[in-house]
Structure 1
Amino acid sequence: MATLKLGSQTTTLDKTGEIMQNQPIPPFDKNTLEKMFASLIGKQQQIPPMYSAIKVNGKKLYEYARKNITIERKPREIEIYDLQLIDFEKDWIQFEVTCSKGTYIRTLGEEMAKKLHTVGHLTQLIRTRIGQYELQNAISIDALDSLTACIPIYQAVPFPYQKAPDALIPFIKDGKPLFYQSDAPLILWVNDQMRALAIYQKENENEYRCVRGFYDENCFHS
């Protein structure tokens, strides 16, 4: 969820930067915003902002930006899956966006302002979801007083798990290759207590190799 302030542009494209310029804000309505949102849906090329952590020649872009050095950046393909209008006034827009990894919402806000024939910068940005994890289900650091609050590994990983027969567990603990018929590129092997044993990656048609083991019995596995 983000809030875009219209009429002023900052060096960082958010409220932490210094104001570079101010421009008038042409009047707009809900219909104008919905059409503008629709025009931004889909795959597109986006140039990362100078104030970002992308490295060029061993330095992060924001290190150059802080010295007033502008570096040419290559466009990156991103995808906007969905844009929803939450609220708006004559000089700000609040919206929700579902997008691909690597999308800069500050740059998206800048593009929105351009389409409204003005400039703008973000004053608020909240990540409400990443993959299957939602902010509404998050636990604060202060509230996290025990590992019982953690999500079990077999629920957290974005690939299937498989219970290992007792006879197979020693081979998994030793990280030995396994021959197993499956279409999954990755498999998490667990024991009868649903404790994680290891993650295996598919190498050939039916051959899997260990890429991460969890076989220290003193560790928390589940």
Structure 2
Amino acid sequence: MQEQPYGEVFLIDKPLEWTSFDVVKKVRNALKIKKVGHAGTLDPLATGLLIICAGKMTKQIESFMGQEKEYSGTFVLGETTESFDLEKPVTPVADPSHLTIDDVKAAVAELTGDILQVPPMHSAIKVGGKRVYESARKGIDVKMEPRPVQVREFEITKFENHVVSFRISCSKGTYIRSLARDLGEKLGVGAYMSSLIRTRIGDFQLSEAHELNSLIEEIKARPQQT
């Protein structure tokens, strides 16, 4: 009987400062096969659930990418950065000390539901065949068109010392850094994303994910895939 072609899905807790492609490369090298890909980029400064597909399961990448995502993290008010996260230096914008949690919730309500969102310049979106972050790093300004996304839930879990802790459930293509930028603009004080964890993709939970190095050791201990 002919053996079925290999296919597997890995749930991985992406380490801080790793790119999504760094994780793909690590898994690809461990499996010793070429067909390995991820189902939705996580920025280097974000952690959490990353779905890696190998072999015949790479055909399922688009279906995984289309599923709803859930995140938790923190926004800092009163300051911003060029990338709207900690990739770039923080600069002060305006004193946020007058803001109450009710002010923040009112602004959040305007960013909940079906909205138009402009992706950040420091993102992997392609415009004119080039990824916009490559242009941004060269100081080239690229016009980014707003795109429809859905923010189904935008919950403030804590507001203390100008830091907004949140939980967000949203559609494919939603940029949490753009929500930080837009929240800061609506409040008139600026904002940036100081931390981000992806906790869910569809029905897949971060609690089910493997720590990367232990997964790599487990893969290397297996018989080699063909």
Cα gap change, 1:116/1:90 in structure 2, threshold over 3 Å: closer, same or farther?
farther
User: For residues 13-51 of structure 1, what are the alpha-carbon distances to aligned partners after superposition, in whole Å with 9 as ceiling and x for unaligned?
Assistant: 101112355322152223222222222211111111110
Contact 1:27 1:90 survives alignment (8 Å): no
Instruction: Give the C-alpha shift of residue 219 in structure 1.
Output: 6.7
Residues 94-103 or 11-20, more deviating: 11-20
User: For residues 124-163 of structure 1, what are the alpha-carbon distances to aligned partners after superposition, in whole Å with 9 as ceiling and x for unaligned?
Assistant: 011011111111121212333547xxxxxxxxxxxxxxxx
Q: Does 1:13 align with 2:84?
A: yes
Q: Does 1:48 align with 2:110?
A: no
Residue aligned with 1:121, SS: strand
User: For residues 166-199 of structure 1, what are the alpha-carbon distances to aligned partners after superposition, in whole Å with 9 as ceiling and x for unaligned?
Assistant: xxxxxxxxxxxxxxxxxxxxxxxxxxxxxxxxxx
The equivalent residue for 2:156 is 85
Larger Rg: 1
Q: Does 1:25 align with 2:87?
A: no
Q: Does 1:109 align with 2:195?
A: no
Alpha-carbon distance in structure 2 between the residues aligned to 1:27 and 1:219: 60
User: For residues 49-103 of structure 1, what are the alpha-carbon distances to aligned partners after superposition, in whole Å with 9 as ceiling and x for unaligned?
Assistant: 1101111222110111111111111111101000111111132111010000000
The equivalent residue for 2:11 is none
The equivalent residue for 1:62 is 133
Residue aligned with 1:31, SS: helix
Percent identity for Structure 1 against Structure 2: 34
The equivalent residue for 1:141 is 212
Alpha-carbon distance in structure 2 between the residues aligned to 1:37 and 1:60: 29
Instruction: Note the aligned Cα RMSD (angstroms).
Output: 2.0
RCO comparison, higher one (Cα < 8 Å, 6+): 2
Contact 1:8 1:120 survives alignment (8 Å): yes
Alpha-carbon distance in structure 1 between the residues aligned to 2:212 and 2:123: 26
The structure with more helix, counted as a fraction of residues? 2
Residue aligned with 1:127, SS: strand
What is the one-letter code of the residue matched to 2:163?
A: W
Per the normalisation by structure 1, the TM-score is 0.62
What is the one-letter code of the residue matched to 2:111?
A: L
The equivalent residue for 1:214 is none
Contact 2:184 2:191 survives alignment (8 Å): yes
Alpha-carbon distance in structure 2 between the residues aligned to 1:93 and 1:80: 17
What is the one-letter code of the residue matched to 2:202?
A: G
Alpha-carbon distance in structure 1 between the residues aligned to 2:95 and 2:104: 17
Residue aligned with 1:3, SS: strand
Q: Does 1:99 align with 2:170?
A: yes
Residue aligned with 2:210, SS: coil
Q: Does 1:121 align with 2:178?
A: no
Q: Which ranges of structure 1 fall in alignment gaps of 5 or more residues? A: 148-217
Per the normalisation by structure 2, the TM-score is 0.61
What is the one-letter code of the residue matched to 1:123?
A: S
User: How many residues matched?
Assistant: 150
Residue aligned with 1:62, SS: helix
